[in-house]
């Protein structure tokens, strides 16, 4: 039994896509929902449609990927309409991701969600590293506190935050103290490790065009950082704040590790790109095999139960 519920919203299994990969169009989102994925996350929306950065803007690497997409998306209304239509069709296993270009833009979108019929999960992305001139809000704790204070004056839906990776344990202490003051539904760790660089030996060039080659790193490279962020937040956040684990998942073992560190749901980004929707059935099958071998019957049997030595 792989079922999970977050604030009474039910997921048949914990494995979803990560925002950004194969989830920009309704066709792509329909394909995720038609697969055995536990649910679907929409491409992070800005208020206005965007074409994103110049290409090439994504490249596979030996152990993952680098990207600087620059938030290509069809605009907030497109995704809000989609999740509302899914809700009408009886599907609650969706996450609406928003990534405004300013705090004001995020608050505008949250007000529109509040005024709409949508009652599902909302993921406020505070960690896009790829829009030139915009810093990652998740690294500015005062700004995070300000946006939460403003949002919770009017928003009473299910709000989660997509956060960048942190690398200093004091950051987890400081940020958790802020997050614990609000009725957040979840934290999603991690977004890509921002502003990595990859080199092409033959041409002696960078491998993506935007931002002179700097871009977000995903895939196997980031799994230890993701596990650390999940674990560090699980040890500090109120139990009512759930955790979505994202980063370096391409197998059932990876999912198991994320859940053992404290994740309630998980999301697959980099590995979903080349493999497509069959990845969801493969990793959930692999997860079930591990659970059977260990004698675990539900995710709660091992969630957060990482042992120290």
Q: Which residues are catalytic?
A: 128
Does 13 show up as a binding residue in the annotation?
no
44 is in an annotated binding site: yes
Cis amide prior to 56 (ω within 30 degrees): yes
Which x/- pattern over 79-108 shows residues binding ligand DHB (rule: CB under 6 A)? --------------------x---------
CB of 101 to ligand DHB, least distance (A): 11
Per-residue binding string, ligand DHB, 228-257, x by CB under 6 A, is ------------------------------
Q: And the tokens for 172?
A: 């987890």
Q: Would you mind telling me the total number of residues written for the chain in this entry?
A: 309
Closer residue to ligand DHB (CB): 50 or 282: 50
Rounded to an integer, what distance in angstroms lies between the CA atom of residue 93 and that of residue 59? 30
| Minimum distance, C-beta of residue 21 to ligand DHB, in the bound complex (Å) | 10
- Please tell me the count of residues contacting ligand DHB according to CB under 6 A: 16
Does the annotation place 97 within a ligand binding site? no
By CB under 6 A, tell whether 20 contacts ligand DHB: yes
Q: Which of 64, 216, 219, 245 binds ligand DHB (CB under 6 A)?
A: 216
- DSSP state for residue 220 in the 8-state scheme: G
Q: How far is the CB of 126 from ligand DHB (least distance, A)?
A: 9
CB distance 9 to 33 below 8 Å? no
Name the burial class of residue 282, with classes exposed (0-12), middle (13-18) and buried (19+) by CB atoms within 10 angstroms of its CB.
Answer: middle
Tell me how far apart the alpha carbons of residues 127 and 98 are, in angstroms, rounded to a whole number: 11
218 among annotated binding-site residues: no
190 appears as a binding residue in the annotation: yes
CB of 149 to ligand DHB, least distance (A): 22
Q: Does 125 bind ligand DHB (CB under 6 A)?
A: yes
Sole window of 123-131, 178-186, 249-257, 301-309 interacting with ligand DHB (rule: CB under 6 A)? 123-131
In 137-213, the DSSP E strands lie at 158-163, 186-189, 193-196, 199-200, 205-206
With tokens 């950065």, the residue in question is 53
Show the tokens assigned to 35: 């697969």
Q: Are strands 64-67 and 186-189 parallel, antiparallel or unpaired?
A: unpaired
The CA distance from 203 to 138, in Å, is 35
Single out the residue of 47, 69, 227, 261 in contact with ligand DHB (rule: CB under 6 A).
69
Smallest gap from residue 26 Cβ to ligand DHB (A)? 18
Please report whether residue 196 would count as binding ligand DHB according to CB under 6 A.
no
Other CB atoms within 10 Å distance of the CB of residue 143 = 15
Neighbour count for residue 174 (Cβ, 10 Å)? 15
Residue ranges for the binding site for substrate? 43, 67-71, 125, 191-192
């Amino acid at each position: 039994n792989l079922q999970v519920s977050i604030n009474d919203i039910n997921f048949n299994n914990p494995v979803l896509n990560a925002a950004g990969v194969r989830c920009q169009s309704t066709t792509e989102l329909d394909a995720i929902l038609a697969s055995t994925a536990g649910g679907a996350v929409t491409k992070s929306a800005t208020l206005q449609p965007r074409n994103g950065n110049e290409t090439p803007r994504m490249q596979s690497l030996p152990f993952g990927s680098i990207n600087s997409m620059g938030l290509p998306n069809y605009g907030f209304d497109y995704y809000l309409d989609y999740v509302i239509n899914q809700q009408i069709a009886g599907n609650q296993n969706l996450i609406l991701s928003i990534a405004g270009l300013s705090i004001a833009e995020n608050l505008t979108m949250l007000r529109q969600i509040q005024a709409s019929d949508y009652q599902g999960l909302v993921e406020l992305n505070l960690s896009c590293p790829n829009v030139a001139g915009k810093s990652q809000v998740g690294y500015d704790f005062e700004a995070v506190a300000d946006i939460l204070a403003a949002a919770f004056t009017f928003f009473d839906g299910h709000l989660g935050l997509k956060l960048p990776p942190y690398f200093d344990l004091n950051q987890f202490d400081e940020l958790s103290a802020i997050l614990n003051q609000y009725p957040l539904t979840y934290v999603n760790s991690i977004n890509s490790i921002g502003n990595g660089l990859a080199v092409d030996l033959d041409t002696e060039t960078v491998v993506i065009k935007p931002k002179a080659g700097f871009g977000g790193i995903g895939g196997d490279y980031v799994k230890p950082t993701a596990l650390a962020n999940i674990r560090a937040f699980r040890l500090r956040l109120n139990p009512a704040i759930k955790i979505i684990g994202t980063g370096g998942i391409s197998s059932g073992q990876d999912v198991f590790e994320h859940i053992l560190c404290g994740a309630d749901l998980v999301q697959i980004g980099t590995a979903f790109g080349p493999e497509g929707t069959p990845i969801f059935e493969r990793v959930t099958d692999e997860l079930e095999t591990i659970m059977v071998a260990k004698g675990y019957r539900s995710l709660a049997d091992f969630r957060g139960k990482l042992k120290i030595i």
